[in-house]
Chains A and B, each alone.
Chain A
């Protein structure tokens, strides 16, 4: 049983560009959350998707948007990249009504 998978593993972008990160949840999970982990910091909640809708959102600007597909996979889009967006982006999945999240290995985004 594959766990949470994320792609790509690493990504380098230039300021002002747009990026899309992808996540496939663990089998049987229908809820996906995205986190940003800056160097030396704990993960910060970006948003959560359930039934293809954004259910909750953290304190992130509208440049951060997402999508969930019928197969429960998810995308995180970031527009107008800033240097400060450089971080490890983590995807976590769980079943609805569960507090037990499973994390993917993350995508390391570097903005130059």
Chain B
């Protein structure tokens, strides 16, 4: 069974500071990994995804994440936080072994990012 653990349900950073949101996964096979962002009263938007290509993945809005197999981690970073980054972020894992196509995605419990002016 696959699972995701997000360390820290709430993270606060100052505007302009580094954003680091932690995610560790558990999967019996090499996984596909995702980061989604959710703004209040909205659905989820895909920030970036890792699908076994480059281990450093760049996404939208200046975010990036690095897949580290030895650490089973996929932490999300952004060099300089902006007020508009305040939202909830979800890490997710999917098993790519399903030959029929899209496999179900398992989400973490989320990390709320607060950006302090």
Interface residues of A (CB under 8 A from B): 4, 31, 33, 35, 40-45, 48, 50, 55-56, 58, 90, 92, 94, 96-106
Contact = CB atoms under 8 A, between A and B. Distances in A.
A105 B101 contact: no
Contacts of B32: 99
Interface stretch (B13-21, B63-71, B74-82, B102-110): B102-110
A98 B105 CA distance: 12
Contacts of B94: 99
A48 B43 contact: no
Sort chain B's interface into a size bin.
20 to 34
Contact of A50 (B46, B101, B105, B108): B101
Contact of A101 (B46, B96, B108, B109): B46
Interface in B89-105: 90, 92, 94, 96, 100-105
Interface of B: 32, 34, 36, 41-46, 49, 51, 90, 92, 94, 96, 100-110
Contacts of B51: 99
Given A50-B101, A99-B32, A45 B106 contact: yes
Most A C-beta atoms less than 10 A away, residue of B34, B43, B104, B109: B43
B41 A48 contact: no
B77 to A, nearest CB: 20
Nearest to B32: A99
B107 A31 contact: no
Given A101-B46, A104-B43, A96 B102 contact: yes
B108 A42 contact: yes
Given A90-B43, A101-B46, A103-B45, A31 B104 contact: no
A54 B39 CA distance: 30
A43 B102 contact: no
Contact of A42 (B90, B100, B104): B90
